[in-house]
Amino acid sequence: MNKTALLASLALCLANIPSTYAAPKKPAPRVSPPTVVVQKYFNTIINDDNYAGDKYWCSSSKDLVSRFFAPTRYRIISGSAYKTGGSYTVQLHSSNKGGQPIVARWSVYVQKEKNATRAQGLPYGYCIALISES
């Protein structure tokens, strides 16, 4: 290969190299299936309405369903997920019946739905088993 052809080949190679270095993208953090249910539940009651969140409750807990007055935002403070469920502490901004803003911490328990048909409509088959004030 002569000098001219070598320089032309080198110029072609250099033209195909990006001018800036793009750092590899970090993979999104993996969220556990029980955590997904907690997120979906609170996003639903804040963005839709309290009654829309009922679909995330376990069929065995239908008499324990909790409702909040005018929830506006939430934050998962802590949590542990395991194979059959999870337990979380959630800080929720909402109102009391009188309309006064309140911030409270709630314990949220998640488990696998035992009704196979109902489990198909839930994220990963998990549901809210109980919510109680922390």
Q: In terms of residue numbers, what domain contains 97?
A: 34-133
Residue 42 maps to which CATH number? 3.10.450.50
Q: pTM for this one?
A: 0.76
pLDDT in tens, 34-84: 999 999 999 999 999 878 899 999 999 989 998 899 999 999 999 999 989
The count of structural domains within the chain is 1
Query: What is the model's pLDDT at position 45?
Result: 95
pLDDT in tens, 3-12: 666 556 655 5
Q: Quick check: is 64 in a domain? A: yes
Write a three-state SS string for 29-98: CCCCHHHHHHHHHHHHHHHCCHHHHHHHECHHHHHHCCCCEEEEEEEEEEEEEECCEEEEEEEEEEECCC
Q: Quick check: is 5 in a domain? A: no
